[in-house]
Amino acid sequence: MADASATNSDVTTMSGPRGRKPTRMLTPRNIMLYGTLFVIAVYYLLPLYVMVVTSLKGMPEIRLGNVFSPPVEITFEPWVKAWSEACTGLNCDGLSRGFWNSVRIMVPSVAISILIASVNGYALANWRFKGANIFFTILIFGAFIPYQVMIYPIVIILREMGLYTKLSGLVIVHTVFGMPILTLLFRNYFSSIPEELFKAARVDGAGFWGIYFQIMLPMSLPIFVVAIILQVTGIWNDFLFGVIYTKPENYPMTVQLNNIVNSVQGVKEYNVNMAATLLTGLVPLIVYFVSGKLFVRGIAAGAVKG
Amino acid sequence: MKNPSVSIKHLDLEFGSFKVLKDLNLDIGQGEFLVLLGASGCGKSTLLNCIAGLLDVSDGQIFINDKNVTWEQPSERGIGMVFQSYALYPQMTVRGNLTFGLKNAKMPKKEIEERVTRAAEILQIEPLLNRKPAALSGGQRQRVAIGRALVRDVDVFLFDEPLSNLDAKLRADLRVELKLLHERLKNTMIYVTHDQIEAMTLADRIAIMKDGLIQQLDSPQEIYNRPVNKYVADFIGSPSMNFFEGEIANGQFVSGDLSIDLTRYDFAEESPNATAWFGIRPEHILVNDEAPFSAKVRVDIVEPMGSDTLVWTKINGTPFRFRMDGQAAVSVGDDLSIGFDPARASLFDNTTELRL
């Protein structure tokens, strides 16, 4: 039997391992682990480093061939040129045109697709209507059909609607193609919200839209952030749809970037190409940095229940 | 029943081909506290959801205050509901939670304010009104959930295992509060639980359910003392009833070497000659005392529980439990003389398992 009064005097006489187990930093395991992580980090960061460094050099310095050396004389001229002067075909107003095209494509596409998909997901998760499962199956099946199969039919559809080569046509295409994955995302998130909450709201007399706007929406900020990130990066990085369904003055930034980098006349201006590429990648990059934390939280929350 | 508060008539509910509720009939009186009790999967929560209108019934009718509400929306049925997980709207304050339903009903601001004040006063949650649910303890959350039903000023309260998420001490406290609330409001309350203590302490009547059927609907006393079948007898009471399998012949219950005189037992009809189960509750066993029936046993296991002591023995090879005083000095291997009064026993037919 334990004797409470005896423990105090025992403290001084205890021998052998005691308390927290000591940890050593320089074990073979740690060296391997951190070594590998370091090498991989360098491997991924090196190209980015080369791009940033090259974009800040003038052409004479680039011709010296020291790819990894930092710029002797920092110049922002390539960035300015890429943004406002680089030529694609006959247009010589740089990437800025493509940037604004991309914004005009992205903003409505993201807003519309998320709006519709969230209502879709809410209806599928909470209002078990007749045929809900079939509808959901078809929608998910749509996510697995290769895009290439649908390219030509969509060209015809857009032409018949009079939207071919227009920005609004591309917005519709992006909205439709975002629907399966976004609906799945929202459905899973809304299913993870306790059903009793939904029931309580029904007893309280809230209807379909009342529950959606007053109960579900305020609880689902993380998943909206996830959806926005997925759509912004997806639509911003799209090349295929942009090049097929628009014409040169409506080309999104990615297509224009390709045209600048791959233009064959004259000298290859590596610094301008690098700057143009960085400019194009900046939007998704900023989105990731700003919302990284929310993104992980939302992904984890949505994955709870499938 | 005259003028029932809630009346359920021939209710069927199927999920696909699985029948959850089968031709269920139930009348609940004005101001009655009815507890639906049963193991999980017996259909008790389903029945409550049907009354609330959260599930569409397959067949049958539901009346609340003599109005057929079978096709009505939950909000139009005159019910308030309290859920196990509290189901408070996390982004709203306590006040927001309480007023949400009233705002949906387009009630004037002044009346909303009056009702919230009254509910908060009854439940003693006035200081919490401007907090979010996340800043409340489990007991406070459940109070707010009850408040949300209270402000609706309805005739029928539905509780879906409201205390199951609370720890044991809080559960006992809130149980008493619920009973006081019922005394004060005198509303009809339908309460689903799997906890027989809650059922026994709160209920005016208990409906014990199994496989979508009501096994027995009676006062707690009656259910405890005169269970209609073996399932109910086994389900109610903790530790559960001791059973012996044997035969009834000439007013005697015989099981192996065991022979119990049944002259004091109150048969529903005449004493039959049949194979039967003999059941006696552990708390009805007397130790070292005069009793119409007595036997010698050897103690196998002793479970001291403070307030009382549970002793496990065997009679005739069948495990046999009985309850002794918490201060009783017994240890494993002791020989005891136990006895009981067969008038407190229950006999069930061996095949139909119905009370004899």
Rounded CA separation B216/B231 (Å): 10
pLDDT at A4 over 60: no
Indicate whether B213 and B134 sit together in one domain: yes
The domain spanning residue B148 has which CATH number?
3.40.50.300
In a domain, B208, yes or no: yes
CB B189 within 8 A of CB B197: no
User: How high is the pLDDT of residue A142?
Assistant: 80
Indicate whether A35 and A150 sit together in one domain: no
- Number of domains forming the structure of chain B: 2
In a domain, A2, yes or no: no
Tokens of A64: 């010296």
- Number of domains forming the structure of chain A: 2
Best of B104, B141, B151, B161 to disrupt the A interface by mutation (most A CBs within 10 Å)?
B104
CB A132 within 8 A of CB A190: no
Indicate whether B220 and B247 sit together in one domain: no
- Give the residue from B231, B250, B265 where a domain finishes: B231
- Give the residue from B189, B206, B231 where a domain finishes: B231
CB contact under 8 A, A202 and B74: yes
In a domain, B356, yes or no: no
The reply to whether B162 touches chain A by the CB within 8 Å rule is no
The pLDDT tens digits of the residues spanning A118-163 come to: 999 999 999 888 888 898 888 888 878 888 888 999 999 999 999 9
Domain extent at residue B205: 6-231
Rounded CA separation B306/B291 (Å): 26
- The vertex-B322 CA angle with B321 and B328, nearest 5°, equals 130
Buried/exposed code over B332-355 (b: 16+ C-beta within 10 A; e: otherwise)? eeeebebebbbeebbbbbeeebeb
Indicate whether A116 and A210 sit together in one domain: yes
- Give the residue from A43, A75, A107 where a domain finishes: A75
Q: B205-210 and B33-37: which strand pairing?
A: parallel
The pLDDT tens digits of the residues spanning B181-220 come to: 999 999 999 999 999 999 999 999 999 999 999 999 999 9
User: How high is the pLDDT of residue A291?
Assistant: 78
- Give the residue from B216, B231, B246 where a domain finishes: B231
Indicate whether B288 and B226 sit together in one domain: no
Chain B positions in Cβ-Cβ contact with residue A210 (cut-off 8 Å): 104
User: How high is the pLDDT of residue A268?
Assistant: 83
Best of B15, B51, B81 to disrupt the A interface by mutation (most A CBs within 10 Å)?
B81
In the A/B pair of chains, how many CB contacts fall below 8 A? 60
In a domain, B73, yes or no: yes
Reported confidence tier of residue A299, pLDDT bands at 50, 70, 90: low
Indicate whether B14 and B125 sit together in one domain: yes
Measuring CA to CA, which residue among B184, B207, B310, B76 is closest to residue A206? B76
- Give the residue from A75, A108, A135 where a domain finishes: A75
In a domain, A248, yes or no: yes
In a domain, A11, yes or no: no
User: How high is the pLDDT of residue A301?
Assistant: 55
In a domain, A7, yes or no: no
CB contact under 8 A, A194 and B87: yes
Domain extent at residue A41: 28-75
Indicate whether A59 and A160 sit together in one domain: no
Reported confidence tier of residue B316, pLDDT bands at 50, 70, 90: confident
- Residue A298 carries which side chain, given as an amino acid letter? G
ipTM surpasses cut 0.95: no
Chain A positions in Cβ-Cβ contact with residue B49 (cut-off 8 Å): 199
What mean pLDDT is predicted for residues B115-122? 93
- Residue B261 carries which side chain, given as an amino acid letter? D
User: How high is the pLDDT of residue A294?
Assistant: 66
Indicate whether B251 and B131 sit together in one domain: no
SS3 B196: helix
Q: Which of B53, B89, B160 sits opposite A215 (nearest CB)?
A: B89
The domain spanning residue A207 has which CATH number?
1.10.3720.10
Best of A203, A208, A216, A221 to disrupt the B interface by mutation (most B CBs within 10 Å)?
A203
The pLDDT tens digits of the residues spanning B56-85 come to: 999 999 999 999 999 999 999 999 999 998
User: How high is the pLDDT of residue B291?
Assistant: 84
The pLDDT tens digits of the residues spanning A92-120 come to: 788 888 999 999 999 999 999 999 999 99
% of residues, chain A, pLDDT over 90: 49
Indicate whether A229 and A104 sit together in one domain: yes
